């Protein structure tokens, strides 16, 4: 008998596809029209082992790349509001326009210079094409600025060389060289010594440009600018259209970073667009591969699918314990200002800033979040006086950051619908009303809410949860329901330790006095209730204070077996005995409702 051939492990290889498992069929779409991206030959790449341990330099291009992509470009007032927001957040490099494109951008640049709106540590950047008249107009817009950069670009990709410019590689390189020389000449002629002047060059469509040619053009530009200590050049390598995986994008950056001859004097900048939906990953991997600087827009505004999202990038760093060096602590103010300036709404699922990103509807998620908050509070308490949750490392399931760190409250963390469970409902009651329901009571009340959502559909708000809870367990005395309404009670203890309880109550609309004896006031009250035909037995009891100080309230929870039903009741009072008696009444009335 032939021994069975051992099964080889498939770790690291695709799982074999058989006729039984391959159910997908050809799409019929014209895939023949598209070619794959070219891989980079860099077998000793080092970027996969790198980590981002400090913030890169940031440039916001909201006022240029973001603005030019709007259906309704920003008015001067909206531009100014966006500029002021970026300054408040801490951006030190801001691309403020394309001044040679028309009077609107030119006048805006002049206004922020002449009105003293630019802090001395903020560098404004302006974009220009490589034509002499445009370069002159661009440099004129910067007169009087304290710190300014001219950003010159020309397309270098084969399709542009062949279709748009109909020029050779040498022709395209000469455009970049001549443009750089003209920028230097007009800067020397127009700008005074008060201006700290910088230069940035972008080989547009870098992602489609041959690497060796992109390097050749960048080196030629550097030969003109002559970067050295104290005289950097910014070489910006834009994914004008995102073409490849982020890993290939990183390979291209590592290749360029290795081959630039004056690398120590070059600020290597990344400018990803989001055509494939991976701009954030492309930017992060480019930083790991050697890039020093990221250009993008708040919330990913920009042409087509947008520029890389500076908010997501910064908050990704923050969530890993790396200071982004940008202030996102008032995320809703940032979002509102962006929505006003761009006249475009931020999606409710947008990372870190959307209305729903810190919200859980799923019951299992809500339960885990509640337990996470409880565990952090317990951990802080165990570490001693003066230690708060804010002193601990954040560890709440499903919440990558503490919503409070970006100015959000916890109110919207748990929202209840038909998919929710006991954890979310319990969280709302504890967080909003200081009621820490026992687990079995959580289950009981969640069924009541579930019935409500099944019947009515949609979301149940925290206010509706509280209203339903009050109606079920804590009816208003002025509109009370149920057989028994407690007015007062007095307990005495004999020498044997047994309590006699005398209760004044309204039973079925009639004032009456009930008396009972037992091992404690609750046991005595159960005996007293037998006089009106209510047979109740205690199953569980728990209590907790709801606040501190002389006026603190206590919440008592009682689980009872009443005439064959198992029900919970709750009572709230400054006196723990009265709170427990109210809890018994709550359960009794629910049993006879």
Give binding residues for Mg(2+) as ranges.
65, 271, 273, 307
Write the secondary structure of 92-119 as one string of H (helix), E (strand) and C (coil). Answer: CEEEEECHHHCHHHHHHHHHHHHCCCCC
Give the residue from 311, 329, 480 showing the smallest Cα distance to 406.
Answer: 329
Give the residue from 437, 429, 427 showing the smallest Cα distance to 543.
Answer: 437
Neighbouring-strand partners of residue 233: 266
Q: Residue 125 corresponds to which tokens in the numbers above? A: 């950047």
CA 258 vs CA 46, 114, 249, 266: distances in Å: 11, 42, 14, 12
The label of the residue with tokens 């501190």 reads: 548
User: What are the φ and ψ backbone dihedral angles of 485, each rounded to 5 degrees?
Assistant: -120, 115
- Whole-angstrom Cα distance, residue 236 to residue 267? 8
Instruction: Please give the annotated binding residues, written as ranges.
Output: 65, 271, 273, 307
Helix, strand, or coil (residue 288): helix
Sign, CA torsion 350/355/356/358: positive
Burial 430-462 (b: 16+ CB within 10 A, else e): bbebebbbbeebbebbbeebbebbeeeeeebeb
CA 477 vs CA 202, 481, 543: distances in Å: 74, 8, 22
CA 144 vs CA 137, 286, 477: distances in Å: 14, 35, 73
Our CA angle for 142, 146, 152, nearest 5°, is 45
Burial 307-339 (b: 16+ CB within 10 A, else e): bbbbbbbbbbbbbeeeebebebeebeebbebbe
Q: Residue 414 corresponds to which tokens in the numbers above? A: 């748990």
Q: Where are the alpha helices (DSSP H) in 392-474?
A: 422-433, 439-456, 462-473
């Amino acid at each position: 008998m032939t021994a069975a051939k051992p099964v080889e492990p498939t770790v690291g290889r695709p799982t074999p596809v058989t006729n039984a498992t391959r159910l997908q069929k050809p799409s019929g779409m014209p895939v023949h029209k598209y070619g794959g991206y070219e891989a980079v030959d860099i077998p000793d790449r080092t970027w996969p082992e790198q980590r981002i341990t400090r913030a890169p330099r940031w440039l916001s291009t909201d006022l240029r790349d973001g603005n030019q992509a709007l259906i309704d470009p920003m008015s001067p007032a909206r531009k100014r509001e966006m500029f002021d927001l970026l300054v408040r957040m801490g951006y030190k490099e801001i691309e403020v326009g394309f001044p040679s494109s028309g009077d609107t951008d030119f006048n805006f640049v002049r206004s922020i210079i002449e009105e003293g709106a630019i802090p001395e540590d903020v560098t404004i950047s302006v974009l220009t094409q490589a034509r002499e008249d445009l370069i002159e107009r661009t440099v004129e817009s910067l007169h009087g600025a304290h710190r300014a950069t001219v950003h010159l670009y020309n397309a270098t990709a084969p399709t542009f060389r062949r279709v748009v410019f109909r020029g050779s590689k040498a022709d395209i390189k000469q455009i970049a060289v001549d443009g750089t020389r003209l920028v230097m000449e007009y800067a020397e002629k127009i700008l005074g010594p008060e201006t700290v002047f910088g230069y940035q060059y972008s080989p547009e469509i870098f992602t489609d440009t041959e690497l060796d040619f992109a390097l050749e053009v960048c080196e030629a530009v550097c030969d003109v600018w002559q970067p050295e200590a104290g005289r950097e050049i910014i070489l910006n390598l834009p994914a004008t259209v995102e073409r490849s995986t982020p890993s290939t994008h990183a390979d291209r950056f590592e290749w360029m970073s290795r081959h630039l001859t004056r690398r120590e004097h070059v600020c290597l900048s990344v400018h990803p667009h989001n055509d494939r939906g991976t701009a954030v990953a492309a930017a992060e991997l480019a930083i790991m591969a050697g890039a020093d600087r990221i250009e993008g827009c708040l919330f990913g505004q920009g042409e087509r699918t947008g520029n890389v999202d500076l908010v997501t990038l910064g908050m990704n760093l923050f969530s890993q314990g790396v200071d982004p060096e940008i202030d996102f602590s008032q995320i809703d103010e940032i979002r509102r200002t962006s929505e006003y300036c761009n006249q475009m709404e931020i999606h409710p699922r947008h990372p870190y800033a959307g209305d729903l990103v810190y919200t859980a509807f799923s019951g299992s998620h809500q339960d885990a979040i509640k337990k996470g908050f409880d565990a952090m509070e317990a951990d802080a308490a165990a570490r001693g006086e003066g230690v708060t949750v804010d002193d601990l490392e954040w560890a709440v399931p499903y919440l990558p950051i503490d919503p409070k760190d970006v100015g959000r409250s916890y109110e919207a963390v748990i929202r209840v619908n038909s998919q929710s469970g006991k954890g979310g409902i319990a969280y709302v009651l504890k967080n909003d009303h200081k009621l820490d329901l026992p687990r079995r009571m959580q289950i009981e009340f969640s069924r009541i809410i579930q019935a409500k959502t099944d019947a009515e559909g949609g979301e149940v708000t925290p206010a509706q949860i509280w209203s339903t809870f009050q109606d079920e367990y804590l009816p208003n005395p002025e509109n009370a329901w149920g057989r028994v309404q407690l007015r007062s009670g007095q307990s005495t203890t004999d020498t044997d330790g047994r309590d006699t309880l005398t209760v004044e109550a309204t039973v079925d609309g009639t004032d009456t006095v009930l008396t009972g004896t037992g091992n404690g006031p609750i046991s005595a009250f159960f005996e007293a209730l037998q006089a009106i035909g209510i047979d109740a037995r205690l199953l569980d009891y728990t209590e907790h204070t709801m606040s501190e100080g002389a006026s603190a309230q206590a919440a008592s929870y009682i689980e009872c077996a009443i005439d064959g039903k198992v029900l919970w009741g709750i009572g709230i009072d400054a006196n723990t005995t009265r709170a427990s008696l109210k809890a018994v009444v709550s359960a009794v009335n629910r049993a006879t409702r």
